[in-house]
Amino acid sequence: MSLEQNISKALNELYSVQVEPELQETRKEFDGDVTLVVFPFVRAAKKKPEEVAEELGNKLLELSAIADFNVVKGFLNLTLDRSVYVDQFKTFASDPHFGLPTPGSRGAYIVEYSSPNTNKPLHLGHIRNNLLGYSVAEILKANGVAVSKVQIINDRGIHICKSMLAWQEYGNGETPESTGLKGDHLVGKYYVKFDQVYKEEMKRLLDEGKTGDEAKKLAPSLLKAQEMLLKWEQGDAEVVTLWKTMNNWVYTGFNTTYTKLGVDFDKNYYESQTYVLGKDDVNKGLESGVFYKKDDGSVWIDLEDEGLDHKLVLRSDGTSVYMTQDIGTAIQRFKDFDAKGMTYVVGNEQDYHFKVLFLILSKLGYPWAEQLHHLSYGMVDLPSGKMKSREGTVVDADDLIDGMVADAEAISKELGKLDGLEIAAQKELFTTLGLGALKYFILKVDPKKRMLFNPAESIDFNGHTGPFIQYAYARIQSLQRKAPESSELDWSTLTLNEDETIVIKSLLQFSDIVDQAARNFSPAVLANYAYELVKKYNGFYQNNSILKAETEQSIAFRLLLSKKVGEVIKASMNCLGIQVPNRM
């Protein structure tokens, strides 16, 4: 019988209570493996909590369910017989899926992330977005959910026309091929150029006596960009051709960065196509009373009863706002994918927008609206301060990735961790370590928190870092390569020491940790679990001989334990989008 069944039996025999008990891991400051809170049974027992816990503990000893117990007020801390962990580890070791749900058994889901503008390259903020989105999708997959990864590319609007205009006026026909620049970098260069020209024009207008607002609105470059946007909307052939050309440069650049970063998408949506969506849905909502129309013809929704305000959903001239597009795009996605819900990975500056969007979709009667979620993450700062795209002070994603790989190379050579690897294998290792450092440092932080990214700290081989975990995996693989042909384990005679038990307890938590990370949309839960598992394994590794253990049975068991730790490390890191090296 399982421990839960024995507890149920004891409660029924002692107090005629029939419940399924809920166990939790015993807190570190107390002795025990699991803890049962007895307060729910006090009324039926008509005794003090301490007395109920004591009686239950003694009853469980009679049932051979536990090895020992202690009582702290209304908490019954139970120490399991080590044979329980032997049996559980035997089951765990024989399951290639670690007790995780069958793939796709928990329905389908959509995760939207990245969603960049096509007027500049990806930067550090995009990296956090991409890593969170990709990792959340992979964690959901590991937890039995069929996931579709999508993005909406913001490829239209005044900001796009600013880059186009600056290239047209100052580019002299430059192309990615002629300059050797990635396409997104080339276009971003002209977005910065536009801002420089625009500020010079505003300064001249201010010197001529214009007010600040007048200078902003009357700057010649802005007026030309607005004119270009009108021409694009009217389908002007020359403008549309330039728009397609420059966007294609950017898409090629983005894809190179995505490949470097190791993220992917199942479907791309483009704002130039989706901006017409949502109008029909707004009109239907108007007919059903979800929205109301003002005298000027604009359409709104009243959300005061929900603690919000009135929100515009259609302009008086019948044109869309962002909310209109998002309504239509959400509806389209649930037509495209037979999903039960969706997560938007978007920075916390958009919290209000998504509250409104989800309420509107719910009021429009879509049942899946209750399963919409905004993964609201904090911004990323650097030791040097904030980033600004227009001023060209962003930390470029490509530069950051390349810099991390270079740092990994320098540190690996300094520490002598190349182990006679060939040049090609060394380069692959540097990339694996550099990206592992970058990804882990970002993902170990709770997504909701604003974070400071410190490249030097992220690549410390002895710190709370990706390379620390990667090194543990490589060491386990080295151990397996040196291992003799293992003898068959006699599980019935196996006894565990404290170090082995600690590692097994951590391994057995894996499926629950994946479930917790999935339910909270938090890669940090899994990232920190992997770090704690490695620390516990390192303690076992340092205190216990493996290849030179006293008996063949001990050697075989400790090799198997090490192998399973390696497999769980790899599975955890895969969910974070991080590769692990076989050699270091």
Confirm if 32 and 70 have CB atoms less than 8 A apart: yes
In a domain, 331, yes or no: no
Q: Are 157 and 229 in contact (CB under 8 A)?
A: yes
- The whole-number pLDDT of residue 2 equals 79
Q: Does residue 51 sit in the same domain as residue 194?
A: no
State CA 461 to chain mean position distance: 23
Q: Is the Cβ–Cβ distance between 333 and 273 less than 8 Å?
A: no
pLDDT at 390: 44
Whichever domain contains 435, its CATH number is: 1.10.730.10
Do 29 and 162 lie in one domain? The reply is no
Answer yes or no: is 281 within a domain. no
Q: Which of 80, 110, 129 delimits the end of a domain?
A: 80
Task: Specify whether the CB–CB gap between 141 and 103 falls below 8 A.
Answer: yes
CA 204 to CA 215: how far, in whole Å?
Answer: 8
Do 162 and 74 have their domain in common? no
- Give the pLDDT score at 384: 65
440 within domain boundaries: yes
Looking at the fold, whether 412 and 551 belong to one and the same domain comes out as yes
In a domain, 63, yes or no: yes
CA separation, residue 478 to residues 135, 245, 411, 558 (Å): 28, 50, 21, 14
**Calpha distance 516→522 (Å, rounded):** 8
191 and 58 part of one domain = no
Same domain for 522 and 401: yes
Distances in Å between the Cα of 263 and the Cα atoms of 32, 47, 188, 293 are 42, 58, 22, 43
- The answer to whether residues 161 and 76 belong to one domain is no
Which of 215, 198, 217, 197 has the alpha carbon at shortest distance from 206?
A: 215
The list of the chain residues with pLDDT below 50 reads 386-392
Examine residue 520 and state whether it is found in any structural domain, yes or no. yes
- Closest C-alpha to 149, from 270, 16, 263, 71: 263
Location of structure tokens 């904090």: 378
Of 73, 29, 77, 25, residue with least CA distance to 48: 73
Per-residue tokens: 35: 């803890």
Which amino acid does the sequence have at 496?
Answer: L
Same domain as 560, residue 436: yes
Average pLDDT, the chain: 93
CB atoms within 10 A of CB 49: 18
Phi-psi region of 392 (alpha: psi -120 to 50; beta: other; left: phi over 0): left
Q: Given 230, 255, 272, which residue is the final one in a domain?
A: 272
Q: Is residue 139 part of a domain?
A: no
In a domain, 37, yes or no: yes
Q: Of 249, 272, 295, which closes a domain?
A: 272
Contact by Cβ (8 Å): 118, 509: no
CATH number for the domain including 46? 3.30.1360.70
- Between the CA of residue 552 and those of 329, 476, 569, what are the distances in Å? 62, 19, 26
On whether residue 429 sits in a domain, the answer given is yes
Contact 124, 386 (CB under 8 A): no
Going by C-alpha positions, the residue among 188, 94, 100, 182 that lies closest to residue 138 is 100
**What is the pLDDT at residue 459?**
87
Number of domains in the chain: 3
Give residue 388's pLDDT.
Answer: 45
pLDDT tens figures, 103-140: 999 999 999 999 999 999 999 989 999 999 999 999 99
- Cα torsion for 44, 45, 49, 53, to the nearest 10°? -120
For residue 418, the enclosing domain spans 397-575
- φ, ψ of residue 451 to 5 degrees: the values are -135, 155
Rounded distance between C-alpha atoms, residue 315 and residue 298, angstroms: 5
Both 414 and 540 in one domain: the answer is yes
Residue range 325-361, pLDDT digits in tens: 999 999 999 999 999 999 999 999 999 999 999 999 9
One domain, residues 168 and 254: yes
Within this chain, do residues 559 and 417 fall inside the same structural domain, yes or no? yes
- C-beta separation of 38 from 48 below 8 A: no
